Amino acid sequence: MDGWARNAGFRLWSRSLPFRVVVSTLAAAFVILVTTGWFLMEQSSRGILAGKTQASVAEASAVVATMQRDLSTTDLRTTSASERISRLARDAANRGQVGNQYFVVVETPISQIGTAGLAADSIPASIRAMVGSGDGLWSTPTVIRFTDSRPDEPGLVVAAELEAPGQAPYPIFFLFSTSQERQTLAVVQQATLATGVFLLAGLSVTVYLISLLVLRPVRAARLAAERLAAGHLDDRMAVVGTEDLAGLARSMNHMAEELDKKITQLQNLSLVQQRFVSDVSHELRTPLTTIRMAAEVLHAHRATFDPASGRSSELLSAELDRFEELLTDLLEISRFDAGAAELSLDDIDLSVLVGEEVAALQRFAEQSGTVMVLDADARCIAEVDSRRIRRILRNLITNAIEHGEGRPITVHVRGDDQSVAIAVRDHGVGFSATEGGQVFNRFWRADPSRGRRVGGTGLGLSIALEDARLHGGWLTAWGRPGLGAQFRLTVPRRAGETLHGSPWPVVPPDLKEVTKIAHS
């Protein structure tokens, strides 16, 4: 439970700025209030106790002076000093009991005289030692204890000496109760604590409301930015006042206007570009058809030409094939850009479909000295567009053959309850991790100087990625220089479902096994 509370508190601290402001303010206010309260209580305690001490010493001094005057005028021929001291002590004790002002103890060589029921240990040994060390009065805090059922009381003891003619000094002790002063300090302490609690509560509410007031425009700016990111470019913030927060609203509105203008310009430019590509592709179809017809006539009669002319007719035919393929890819890309591409869905066993494509490209692989192996689960049925899936596979397998350097290629097909994965693994030149994020860019080449036996357009992987996205699937690329590459296509079993994982890993399992063997 404590761990959950700590985690919840940490999440609240990290996510809520008002909470952080309130907690930080309260922490600082608490330290200030504790310090101030301690200082006030210390000063109050010192002041009250100092006043009590001063009044007690003055009272004791007056009583001692009266007793000393009476004792000095005593005729010792008719009354002994002990009798006179006893009578004076009892009188002082009686006066002290009026209003519970003080208690009196006079020590004689044979006994203690004074207030009845007062325990002897109410007088600290330290002040007993001070009496007789010099003239004057001494005071110290003490606890007044009684021999009867009365409870102990905090108090103050004041000590002095009585001088009797021809006798040793008699120590006299006045014990003043400080219960009233302690109660006053308790009331002051409770008032200070209550004031601190109310102040902290009021400060919390005030700081929270102020933080909300300050953060409201900031939150409005955040919401406006999120709506702008979501495409709601017409939204604007309300501008209230002329202070900095109003300036923030004006800046956000200006940014939204500029973004709207720039996005509109880019959209117009993109539409012009798409229309240009589509128009050029269509317009080139007509002259290409005428050139194709003439090239086919030349290619059919190449045997009657001299060697140079015959070779030229063959190159013309090959380059026309590549040019026609480029036009087809450009038209397909323009459909993706325009959002006009649609799926023709059907339940297809992808294991069978992949087997057919592998068989169709087997002869091309043999020409390159490449062995292709199919590793497929039975009945991996998914709702897909078979034409587009075949196009993805042809692109991936053709690239694997082209860059596999004659080494074996394995095509894996795996399925689980939610998805089907097709992975094409080669052991050729591979590519770096940085290049892995660029292989799907249009017209991108890892090494433009590398000789190619297959004339590609540079759009195959881009179209394959768009086909995968159209299915709601993933197309990922993994590669390392010298270790080959793996392209993995993952599609959901049912169209429209969201992918949460793939039945085949991104990193080839055979690479993990090789690494494990190398480490062992």
Q: Which of 29-38, 110-119, 200-209, 371-380 is modeled with the greatest confidence?
A: 371-380
Contact by Cβ (8 Å): 59, 101:
yes
User: Using CA atoms, how far apart are residues 112 and 128, in angstroms rounded to an integer?
Assistant: 13
pLDDT tens column, 311-346: 887 788 777 777 777 777 667 777 766 676 788 889
Quick one: average pLDDT of 28-50? 83
Q: Is the pLDDT of residue 253 over 50?
A: yes
Contact by Cβ (8 Å): 151, 170:
no
Can you tell me whether residue 478 is helix, strand or coil?
Answer: strand
Residue with tokens 């649609």: 342
DSSP-derived secondary structure letter, 95: H
The secondary structure of 166-218 as a DSSP string is TSPPEEEEEEEE-HHHHHHHHHHHHHHHHHHHHHHHHHHHHHHHHHHHHHHHH
Q: Is the pLDDT of residue 173 over 70?
A: yes
pLDDT tens column, 206-252: 887 877 777 777 777 777 777 777 777 677 767 766 566 677 677 77
Can you tell me whether residue 416 is helix, strand or coil?
Answer: coil
Q: Is the pLDDT of residue 452 over 70?
A: no
Contact by Cβ (8 Å): 407, 370:
yes
Q: Is the pLDDT of residue 102 over 70?
A: yes
* Confidence tier at 8 by pLDDT (50, 70, 90): low
pLDDT value at position 242?
Answer: 57
pLDDT value at position 451?
Answer: 42
pLDDT value at position 455?
Answer: 47
pLDDT value at position 126?
Answer: 83
SS3 of 351-400: the string is HHHHHHHHHHCHHHHHHCCCCEEEEECCCCEEEECHHHHHHHHHHHHHHH
What torsion, rounded to 10 degrees, do the Cα atoms 182, 187, 188, 190 define? Answer: 120
DSSP-derived secondary structure letter, 305: S
pLDDT value at position 515?
Answer: 45
Average pLDDT value for the chain: 79
Q: Is 65 or 320 the better-scoring residue by pLDDT?
A: 65
Q: Is 297 or 517 the better-scoring residue by pLDDT?
A: 297
